[in-house]
Chains A and B, each alone.
Chain A
């Protein structure tokens, strides 16, 4: 056995030697066109088949690949120590641009970026850009939430909207607030009930949370988690629901009113090409309905033609900037004014949002 291993090792050595030789020849021959070696890496928090968050990032990667750029990806990478190891490995193995696609990768991304100044990093939904080779990008999902709130406010009979929340971070709280404000506008009696599940991804728990909200009288369910379990639970219970991150219609054809769809593909292609051609710059991108990074799934005909028309108009106005999701007056739960009448919340305030608006029940867990 040992002997065989040695032989294999030797063989591998020769193989590697030849590989280097061949690449050296290629490099000499095509040194002008170093683009052939350009590689993009992706780090995902869930499996590519979650039909939610990671699925959409993977679609973006497919678009980059289709644009003729080599890519690799690592899926189901836990947020934490493992993430740094994976990102470092990608950087070491010759990737020129690395997309890290979950909030929890923020610190590991910046840490690795420090050690690899020649590699470009793109971190999704974060705010830390500690080194010049780190960009951040996110989508204005709250614009989609405004549309969901409008629909939910019109569709509910019990005036109770159930919301499954993951972690108490600004992104999630922003969604809850945007939805509640829009629902209140069309239905002043609306109540938002929230259940925190402290996970992005646990179908069993997400289903139980949906059921708990339905048992408490919610007849519209929405979620800021990644699996399709909540919409399936809603379908079974005969209440309304919304798809999250991707079009989840086929999992609950009767129940789903529409879906918020994250479309990362154009951004990924643009940034990958920029990095390849040397025009990549550090930036903080926050795109919404206008740029198409946030898109809406088909509207359920059960909403009625009038409501569909109304929502489509609102979608257009949000995209053109005529309507803003956070337009004053906005009050917090205690009645203190957050945004004055006639003003809209600026991006700084949105990015750091950490209080509920009036009308949301309960406290934000610490």
Chain B
């Protein structure tokens, strides 16, 4: 039983690593949702990103191309969603669900030839500092570049939404597309951009799994993380900083329950596995009691179809 300070550092380090795909996917989805579009295809976009990244790594042997390619694949598949919901005005929920099912099937088909190939080691930064500094070393150093990006992302997103003109436009489009449109904003274009951005982040989240976290391609390897990311956006009440906190809590529960088992604590495993979802429900109940809090960040027109009358 080694619950000393350096072990806690290692523990926090692994919690951070496990929360990266959640942060990336949820931050992307958050922008999409703030523009008033509900895309339930997160899981599908992630799995497509995972296979594209891995396939490109095997084919080109270049991790940079693999990472960029995974984001592009997320963009392409979210373009399908964008076209259907924004140009053909289909229902957001149904289209998003279809996208997830499509993504899982397509990735399995594309991945047929990439099963069973060992992945490549992804470079980690400052690995010497990780060993030499107790406690802070494993927390701050020895991670991949994607992890540092993921942890900066919620702050960048927050800045973007609150402090920039473009962020204001995204929020306006999500809250009242009709007024935004009357102001001369091209609502459909803004929503397209937000959907594609969300797709890119989900693609990157998938590639993190197949290139960095467990470097290999395995069918259905996202294993429901896309759904947790979706729950996370609601849990965070559409606030980017709370996405970061929520992702650490969600990731932390998984890691902690495994460690607690290894240490020998007796806790019902099934209960802990259900905890992230339970917490989301509790947060939903709590925030729905205070209408001001919801109004603060919730995109009012979330999931509603917008079309410009001519």
Contacts and interface: CB of A to CB of B under 8 A. Distances in A.
Contacts of A207: 213-214
A120 to B, nearest CB: 29
Interface string B195-238: 00000000000000100011110111101010000000000000
Interface string A183-208: 00000000001111111011111111
Nearest to B254: A208
A196 to B, nearest CB: 5
Max count, chain B CB within 10 A of own CB: residue among A196, A198, A204: A204
Contact of A363 (B2, B7, B14, B266): B266
B255 interface: yes
Interface stretch (B110-118, B166-174, B178-186): B110-118
Interface of B: 2, 7, 10-11, 14, 18, 108, 112, 115-116, 118-119, 209, 213-216, 218-221, 223, 225, 254-255, 258-259, 261-264, 266, 268-270, 273
B261 A232 contact: no
A116 interface: no
A232 B221 CA distance: 15
B216 A232 contact: yes
A245 to B, nearest CB: 13
A250 B27 CA distance: 37
Given A76-B220, A208-B14, A47 B259 contact: no
Binding site secondary structure of chain B: helix
A205 B216 contact: no
Contacts of B7: 215
A37 interface: no
Contact of B14 (A50, A51, A195, A211): A211
Contacts of A363: 266
21 contacts: A47-B108, A48-B115, A55-B116, A194-B261, A195-B258, A198-B269, A199-B223, A201-B218, A204-B213, A204-B223, A205-B258, A206-B214, A207-B214, A208-B254, A211-B14, A212-B14, A215-B11, A217-B2, A232-B118, A251-B118, A365-B270
A196 B214 contact: no
A343 B264 CA distance: 32
A153 interface: no
B218 A203 contact: yes
A162 B259 CA distance: 12
Contacts of B266: 362-363
A363 B219 CA distance: 32
Contact of A250 (B118, B258, B268, B273): B118
Interface string A38-51: 00000000111111
Interface string A250-261: 110000000000
A140 to B, nearest CB: 26
B18 A215 contact: no
Q: Which 4 pairs show the lowest CB-CB distances between chains A and B? A: A49-B115, A212-B258, A216-B262, A47-B219
